[in-house]
Amino acid sequence: MTALDSASHRNPRTETLLIRGARLEGGGTGDLLVQDGVIAASGGTLSRAGATVIDAEGLVALPGLVDLHTHLREPGYEASETVLTGSRAAAAGGYTAVFAMPNTSPVADTAGVVEQVLALGEAAGFATVQPIGAVTVGQQGERLAELGTMADSRAQVRVFSDDGSCVWDPLIMRRALEYVKAFDGVIAQHAQDPRLTEGAQMNEGAVSAELGLAGWPAVAEESIIARDVLLAEHVGSRLHVCHLSTAGSVDIIRWAKRRGVNVTAEVTPHHLLLTDELARDYDASFKVNPPLRREEDVRAVRRGLADGTIDIVATDHAPHPAEAKACEWQTAANGMVGLESALRVVQLAMVDTGMLSWPDVARVMSRTPARIGRLRGHGTPLATGEAASLTLYDPAPTRTFSKEDLHGRSRNSPYLGRELPGEVRWTVYGGVVTVADGALLDAPGVRA
Amino acid sequence: MSTRTVLHEADIARALTRISHEILESNRGPDGLVILGIPTRGVALANRIATLISEFSGTVVPVGALDVTMYRDDLHRNPTRAPQPTSIPAGGIDGAVVVLVDDVLFSGRSIRAALDAIQDIGRPAAVRLATLVDRGHRQLPIRPDFVGKNLPSSSDERVNVRLAEVDGEEFVTIQGADS
Amino acid sequence: MRHLLDTKTLSRADALEILDVAEDMADTQQREVKKLPTLRGKTVVNLFFEDSTRTRISFEAAAKRLSADVINFSAKGSSLSKGESLQDTAQTLQAMGADAVVIRHGASGASRTLATSGWITAGVVNAGDGTHEHPTQALLDAFTIRKRRFGGGSRGRDLSGVKVTIVGDILHSRVARSNVWLLDTLGAEVTLVAPPTLVPQDVSAWPARVIFDLDDAVAAEPDALMVLRIQLERMNAAYFPTEREYSRRWGLDARRLEVLPPGSMVMHPGPMNRGLEISAEAADSPRSTVLDQVTNGVSVRMAVLYLLLAGERAGGPANDEREDAS
């Protein structure tokens, strides 16, 4: 039973929607008919008595976005975010599925915790919340967690990560890569050599030299990725690289793929746009791990995403309370919220620059993440018979990103006050409307 | 806006000559005198007075500068100003008759500040005040001992002093308010 | 001048103004009554999150000699002990009516965070933030160099053509950074000497020459050789193998002191590790400016406090007295 079945099961308010004149994936414009949670008809001009008509002229129709890297903070850090508030933020950003990272309290390293997170997501009903399991017990990097039991649980975990920390011990990483082959799992590595980044605060380079902030050198990411692709090749496993941020890392992935290594990589929206120059005012809104890098790195990851070396965009949505950011840089927490701004930033950095088309966006933000995470019912084409999880996006407007655009519990966005293009107009999750006419609904499917 | 010249170059010279004689007369000679000018233009005037006194009495009289910026009581109401150098003659001022010299006496606040500064530097036997122009409107009970010219004025008029050493030209004018 | 946070953004005009006003302050310190009434009624808070008796005393002396009231707030706390946050501490001081806050903090950027946060309206003086900057140290160093070179003719002069060499842990030194920017602004030529592990990875944009050999640096006959304190904890993080080797290769010992031209001055911000980065002979030689630096520190800090606190605050009442009038 996929999570989508439970959505329509718990929230019977699926609507019959007639979406008129949207820009469709195959090119051109057409209609979509949504009924009983699936796409009943697509393309051309459609009609249906009793349907709610949505005028989608000028709007791009995308399959519901799938985020392979989100921090929902529940259980344990509910002051920053909960599964409910986080999935609402996801829906507002056009997402219908998010993969929840396990660095909660307790850590999601057992079937019990991942099933709890799954249940919370189902109760919220705004998006599919697919738990990620920890690789090692407590994410301490010493012993493997019960990966198989998590895979067999109701949560059906397929992606495992110690994100926040690196699986540094090469033997543990090898064992983990080998072990998950039994259930088509994948290890998602947070590549950061801890010894080279002790006390690190920002990218190591000319800016960190001036600012007197301890540096996080690119080689600390690249050396782990290089090791891991060779390990994955050796044992014949899948590997996924989280939040890739440097030009060197792109080169290594490109080399590995040419060799036939089964590796995928993700890049965050902020690494497609922002550089370490933003640290100059010591504004901790820009403090993140991995850190913002140089202009050359931004250019390289953009090219990597455009040519397929980098497979997907993943937000690494990382909520933090105000006091963890409104303080001196050294004391501040790492992380930025990103679900609500992701599509708009990708448009600015990649579509408006001609590097990606809208079908490419569907590929990197929906289809491929779903494939990597083995999540059925998402990232599917907007074609008859497929699940009705989609987003209608208006690329035309330019608006200043403000607190009103944030729908999670935390406000730590680096884009506040910045002009971003585009607007999510409608999000439909398994036939249930979550965003209507640009406004996030209080409850899924319930409109005033 | 009308501008009227109240002292020309020659008038200034005559006033300084008279002041120098008056100082010598009231002090009964040059002994114990220390002339201290208040920057900027007071310093130029002090140098001239010291030279004249030395000529008339045949004795060289010590002269210096006393910057009062650090002692002003109205600092917070004006843009920060950089202080000028203070140079006290080698013999100091203890037991001396200090003659303060300034170009225009108005509210009296600069002189009050000068008295505070003097107190931190030493203990003179007496302090006298010489000013080129007294334009009235005192805000404190300060009176000059030696005056070049009494110049009744209204408080919205502006008195301008120009001296050759500082400005390259020499006159005193009074400028009326905008009518 | 609203705040003094760094020398990187300090203009040549502002830097010279501070140095020249410091000359006047230094003169008043020669009098019997060393006090000036200039900042009477103003409150200066020393907000020190890091131990530093020397710098705190220097600022305290500077403030008191200008008749300001001084409050010392020592807020030692590590992130482990979870002391009061910077924000809460700052707002407490604001409520107490601080006119200026002199802050020393272990985090780079803390003084900028304080100044731009909107938590306080007081002027902020950075007394050292992490490994970032220590502007008053650089100013007193420049003042000292200028005074030794030009004596009574210092007023209005910059340091054009003066060769200054700084040796020590550049990577972790806020004194080095502040000096590099200020000395360059004042026209001096700067050379940095350190083991390669103690130079930041990318200093290509810095207005300074970087070399690894102290003997080469001394042979180039600098006008001033500034020695930085080496922290022994660095040895444990593999920045250099032993004290002995550091001292041998980068210490200003008696032999190097002899090679240094007689007119060159030896500087150290203190506190010194005698026998490690600087020998006793060097520290106590007549070429050493170490004690001058301490004295000049008070004059320079008096100048900074004066320029920050005297004079119109933004939004104050308008000037209703003419400059010429007495």
Specify the DSSP element, H or E, that contains A7.
helix A3-10
Report CA torsion sign: B56, B63, B47, B133.
negative
Confidence of residue A1 (pLDDT cuts 50, 70, 90): very low
Tens digit of pLDDT for each residue in A240-256?
999 999 999 999 999 99
Per-residue model confidence (pLDDT) at position A26:
80
A289 is annotated as contributing to ligand binding: yes
Pick A329's closest partner by Cβ from C109, C133, C203: C109
**CB contact at 8 A, A22 and A438:** no
CB-based burial, C52-63: b 16+ in 10 Å, e otherwise: beebbebbbbbb
**CB contact at 8 A, A14 and A37:** yes
**A191 pLDDT exceeds 60?**
yes
CB of A331 within 8 Å of any CB in chain C? yes
What's at A321, amino acid-wise?
P
Q: For residue C107, count other CB atoms closer than 10 A to its CB.
A: 25
Q: Do A213 and C130 touch (CB under 8 A)?
A: yes
Residue among A316, A352, A394, A442 flagged as catalytic: A316
CB of C14 within 8 Å of any CB in chain B? no
Shortest distance between the Cα of C191 and any Cα of chain A, in A, equals 16
Q: Do B121 and C313 touch (CB under 8 A)?
A: no
Please indicate whether residue A394 is annotated as part of the active site. Answer: no
Confidence of residue A44 (pLDDT cuts 50, 70, 90): confident
Specify the DSSP element, H or E, that contains A96.
strand A95-100
Confidence of residue A71 (pLDDT cuts 50, 70, 90): very high
| Low-confidence spans in chain C with pLDDT less than 50 | 78-81, 314-326
CB of C32 within 8 Å of any CB in chain B? yes
**A9 pLDDT exceeds 80?**
no
- Is A235 exposed, middle or buried (CB count within 10 Å of its CB: 0-12, 13-18, 19+)? middle
Of A434, A351, A266, nearest in space to A23 by CA: A351
Which chain C residue shows the shortest CA-CA distance from A207?
C202
A72 is annotated as contributing to ligand binding: yes
Pick B158's closest partner by Cβ from C23, C32, C322: C322
**CB contact at 8 A, A217 and C200:** no
Pick A327's closest partner by Cβ from C86, C133, C206: C86
Q: Do C325 and B120 touch (CB under 8 A)?
A: no
- Compute the distance between CA of residue A207 and CA of residue A211 in angstroms, rounded to an integer: 6
- Compute the distance between CA of residue A72 and CA of residue A93 in angstroms, rounded to an integer: 15
Report phi then psi at C301, rounded to 5. Answer: -70, -30
Report phi then psi at C206, rounded to 5. Answer: -80, 140
**Any idea where the domains of chain A sit in the sequence?**
3-60+385-397+417-439, 64-372
Per-residue model confidence (pLDDT) at position C88:
87
Peptide bond preceding A381: is omega within 30 degrees of 0, i.e. cis?
A: no
Tens digit of pLDDT for each residue in B89-115?
999 999 999 999 999 999 999 999 999
- Compute the distance between CA of residue A247 and CA of residue C272 in angstroms, rounded to an integer: 44
Specify the DSSP element, H or E, that contains B172.
strand B171-175
Ordered domains of chain B (ranges, CATH): 8-72+86-156 (3.40.50.2020)
Q: Residues 6 or more apart from B170 whose CB is under 8 A from it?
A: B8, B9, B12, B162, B163, B164
**CB contact at 8 A, A433 and A443:** no
Mean pLDDT by 10 residues, chain B (179 residues): 91 97 96 96 96 96 95 78 87 96 95 94 96 95 96 92 95 83
Chains A and C touch (3+ CB pairs under 8 A): yes
Tens digit of pLDDT for each residue in A144-171?
999 999 999 999 999 999 999 999 999 9
Ordered domains of chain C (ranges, CATH): 12-134+294-309 (3.40.50.1370), 135-292 (3.40.50.1370)
How crowded is the C-beta side of B133, counted as CA atoms within 13 Å?
Answer: 28
A437 is annotated as contributing to ligand binding: no
How crowded is the C-beta side of C271, counted as CA atoms within 13 Å?
Answer: 7
Q: Do C85 and A323 touch (CB under 8 A)?
A: yes
Alpha carbon C280 to its chain centroid, in Å, reads: 23
Report how far apart, in Å, the C-alpha atoms of B149 and of each of B50, B127, C194, C206 are: 19, 20, 68, 60
For chain C, list residues whose CB is within 8 angstroms of any CB belonging to chain A: 8, 79, 85-87, 105-110, 112-113, 116-117, 129-133, 174, 177, 200-206
Of C153, C197, C188, nearest in space to C267 by CA: C188
Tens digit of pLDDT for each residue in C138-174?
999 999 999 999 998 999 999 999 999 999 999 999 9
pTM: 0.88
| Joined tokens for residue C61 | 């002396």
The chains found to touch C (3+ Cβ pairs under 8 angstroms) are A, B
Q: Do B108 and C324 touch (CB under 8 A)?
A: no
A10 is annotated as contributing to ligand binding: no
What's at B59, amino acid-wise?
T
Per-residue model confidence (pLDDT) at position A22:
96
Q: Do A206 and C105 touch (CB under 8 A)?
A: no
In sequence order, the β-bridge partners of residue C265 are C224
- Compute the distance between CA of residue A105 and CA of residue A87 in angstroms, rounded to an integer: 19
C141: left (phi over 0), alpha (psi -120 to 50) or beta: alpha
Three-class secondary structure of residue A281 per DSSP? helix
A203 is annotated as contributing to ligand binding: no
How crowded is the C-beta side of B178, counted as CA atoms within 13 Å?
Answer: 0
Pick C177's closest partner by Cβ from A212, A282, A323: A212
Pick C311's closest partner by Cβ from B79, B86, B107: B79
Any idea what DSSP says for residue A293? B
Tens digit of pLDDT for each residue in A255-290?
999 999 999 999 999 999 999 999 999 999 999 999
**CB contact at 8 A, B20 and B53:** yes
What's at C69, amino acid-wise?
D
What's at A7, amino acid-wise?
A
Q: Do A204 and C201 touch (CB under 8 A)?
A: yes
Per-residue model confidence (pLDDT) at position A130:
98
Greatest CA span in chain B, whole angstroms? 52
Mean pLDDT of chain A: 95
The chains found to touch A (3+ Cβ pairs under 8 angstroms) are C
Per-residue model confidence (pLDDT) at position C319:
33
Report phi then psi at A83, rounded to 5. Answer: -60, -40
| Joined tokens for residue A304 | 């990597």
- Compute the distance between CA of residue C201 and CA of residue C128 in angstroms, rounded to an integer: 22
**CB contact at 8 A, C190 and C164:** yes
Which chain C residue shows the shortest CA-CA distance from A198?
C237
CB-based burial, C125-149: b 16+ in 10 Å, e otherwise: bbbbbbbbbbbbbbbbbbbbbbbbb
Report how far apart, in Å, the C-alpha atoms of C195 and of each of A216, C234, C239, C276 are: 20, 12, 8, 15
Q: Mutate which of B78, B112, B171 to test chain C, going by most C C-beta atoms within 10 A?
A: B78
Q: Do A329 and C203 touch (CB under 8 A)?
A: no
- Compute the distance between CA of residue A363 and CA of residue C153 in angstroms, rounded to an integer: 72
Confidence of residue A448 (pLDDT cuts 50, 70, 90): low
Per-residue model confidence (pLDDT) at position A181:
97
Three-class secondary structure of residue A184 per DSSP? coil
Q: Do A213 and C205 touch (CB under 8 A)?
A: no
Report how far apart, in Å, the C-alpha atoms of A33 and of each of A14, A17, A53, A428, B83 are: 12, 6, 9, 12, 81
- Compute the distance between CA of residue C97 and CA of residue B166 in angstroms, rounded to an integer: 42
3 state SS for chain C:
CCCECCCCCCCHHHHHHHHHHHHHHHHHCCCCCCCCCCCCCCEEEEEECCCCHHHHHHHHHHHHHCCCEEEEEECCCCCCCCCCCHHHHHHHHHHHCCCEEEEEECCCCHHHHHHHCCCCCCEEEEEEECCCECHHHHHHHHHHHHHHHHHHHCCCCCCCCCEEEEECCCCCCHHHHHHHHHHHHCCCEEEEECCHHHCCCCCCCCCCEEECCHHHHHHCCCCEEEECCCCCHHHHCCCCCCHHHHHHHHCECHHHHHHCCCCCEEECCCCCCECCCECHHHHHCCCECHHHHHHHHHHHHHHHHHHHHCCCCCCCCCCCCCCCCC
- Compute the distance between CA of residue A91 and CA of residue A426 in angstroms, rounded to an integer: 9
| Joined tokens for residue A85 | 């508030």
Any idea what DSSP says for residue B116? H
Per-residue model confidence (pLDDT) at position A431:
94
Shortest distance between the Cα of C95 and any Cα of chain B, in A, equals 21
Residues of C in contact with A287 (CB under 8 A): none
CATH 3.40.50.1980 fits A64-372, yes or no: no
- Compute the distance between CA of residue C324 and CA of residue C305 in angstroms, rounded to an integer: 25
The chains found to touch B (3+ Cβ pairs under 8 angstroms) are C
Per-residue model confidence (pLDDT) at position C324:
43
**CB contact at 8 A, A29 and A22:** yes
Three-class secondary structure of residue A70 per DSSP? strand
Which chain C residue shows the shortest CA-CA distance from B87?
C27
For chain B, list residues whose CB is within 8 angstroms of any CB belonging to chain C: 38, 41, 67, 70-71, 74-83, 85-86, 102-111, 116, 119-122, 131, 135, 158-161
Shortest distance between the Cα of C125 and any Cα of chain B, in A, equals 17
Q: Do B78 and C306 touch (CB under 8 A)?
A: no
Question: Please, what is the Cα angle at A136 between A132 and A141, to 5 degrees?
Answer: 130
Q: Strand C69-74's sheet: what is its strand order?
A: C69-74, C43-48, C100-105, C123-129
- Compute the distance between CA of residue C273 and CA of residue C282 in angstroms, rounded to an integer: 12
- Indicate the CATH number for domain A3-60+385-397+417-439: 2.30.40.10
**A3 pLDDT exceeds 90?**
no
Residues of A in contact with C82 (CB under 8 A): none
Tens digit of pLDDT for each residue in A384-411?
999 999 999 999 999 999 999 999 999 9
Of C225, C229, C256, nearest in space to C163 by CA: C225
Chains B and C touch (3+ CB pairs under 8 A): yes
